[in-house]
Amino acid sequence: DTEVTQTPKHLVMGMTNKKSLKCEQHMGHRAMYWYKQKAKKPPELMFVYSYEKLSINESVPSRFSPECPNSSLLNLHLHALQPEDSALYLCASSQVSGTSAYNEQFFGPGTRLTVL
Amino acid sequence: DAKTTQPNSMESNEEEPVHLPCNHSTISGTDYIHWYRQLPSQGPEYVIHGLTSNVNNRMASLAIAEDRKSSTLILHRATLRDAAVYYCILRVPLRDDKIIFGKGTRLHILP
């Protein structure tokens, strides 16, 4: 199973709502990632988890709160978002750097988020 | 991190070979050259990677210049399903988990 699944596929939320994005993989990968992708732009890294611990935060605003409850799951909690946060949110997983010569990242299909 | 430069877009006819160029003149000796592609409405997917020698796999070939300052991704026989944005990325193995995507090349395949 080389699949990364993401739910929901689409999400519409108001600026006062609290919602969560979910990502799951069963490849035994111990590194997981959140990326944000605006229309017609490349993905931008937000967070990296390594062995369920946050290892990289690319100066993301605190209204985005990641969580890695176990080695297969990654969540992104959303609160008080702005319309400019509307984007495709991609999750990825890989082996942890240092455990192989290269660590191919496997991406999910993304959650398309619209903030009203 | 060293940067890559790719054409914004390219066109090719179906069933013909496609050569996608990438310049990386500031590449360091330990940087691997990776290619990912992103099909419409999908997440990126790994295509191929290499260090110094040319590489082949079931999806594509990677030709790396002798001075490593440029590389070319070769799709031997493009199909409509190969229409995607192709990203050339430099990565240092065993260091960190980052992928920094550049702007990529949008490949259009003409039937």
pLDDT digits (tens, 9 = 90+) for A51-106: 999 999 999 999 999 999 999 999 999 999 999 999 999 999 998 876 555 678 99
- Candidate from B43, B87, B102 with C-beta closest to A108: B43
Q: What angle do CA B3, B4, B6 make, to 5 degrees?
A: 150
- Encode pLDDT of A15-61 as tens digits: 999 999 999 999 999 999 999 999 999 999 999 999 999 999 999 99
Is B94 in CB contact (< 8 Å) with chain A? yes
Residue A8: is its pLDDT beyond 60? yes
What is the C-alpha to C-alpha distance for residues B4 and B44, in angstroms, rounded to an integer?
A: 17
As a whole number, mean pLDDT of residues B29-49 equals 93
What is the C-alpha to C-alpha distance for residues B78 and B61, in angstroms, rounded to an integer?
A: 12
- In the numeric block, the tokens 């495709």 are attached to A88
What is the C-alpha to C-alpha distance for residues A106 and A1, in angstroms, rounded to an integer?
A: 11
Residue B96: is its pLDDT beyond 70? no
Q: Taking CB atoms and an 8 Å cutoff, what residues of chain A touch B99?
A: 43, 45, 105
Q: Taking CB atoms and an 8 Å cutoff, what residues of chain B touch A42?
A: 85, 87, 101-104
Q: Taking CB atoms and an 8 Å cutoff, what residues of chain B touch A48?
A: 97-98
CA dihedral A66, A69, A73, A77 (to 10 degrees): -30
Confidence grade of residue B18 (pLDDT, cut at 50, 70, 90): very high
What pLDDT, on the 0 to 100 scale, is given for residue A100? 57
Interchain pair B46, A106: CB under 8 A: yes
What pLDDT, on the 0 to 100 scale, is given for residue B3? 87
Map A37-98 to HEC letters: ECCCCCCEEEEEEECCEEEEECCCCCCEEEEEEECCEEEEEEECCCHHHCEEEEEEEECCCC
What is the C-alpha to C-alpha distance for residues A99 and A81, in angstroms, rounded to an integer?
A: 36
Interchain pair A103, B97: CB under 8 A: yes
What is the C-alpha to C-alpha distance for residues B70 and B62, in angstroms, rounded to an integer?
A: 11
Residue B54: is its pLDDT beyond 70? yes
Please tell me whether residue B87 adopts helix, strand or coil conformation. strand
Interchain pair B93, A108: CB under 8 A: no
- In the numeric block, the tokens 């395949």 are attached to B109
Q: Which residues contact A43 (CB under 8 A, 6 or more apart)?
A: A35, A36, A37, A90, B38, B44, B99, B101
Interchain pair B46, A109: CB under 8 A: no
What is the C-alpha to C-alpha distance for residues A8 and B4, in angstroms, rounded to an integer?
A: 33
In chain B, the DSSP E strands lie at: 9-13, 18-23, 32-38, 45-50, 55-56, 61-64, 70-75, 84-91, 105-110
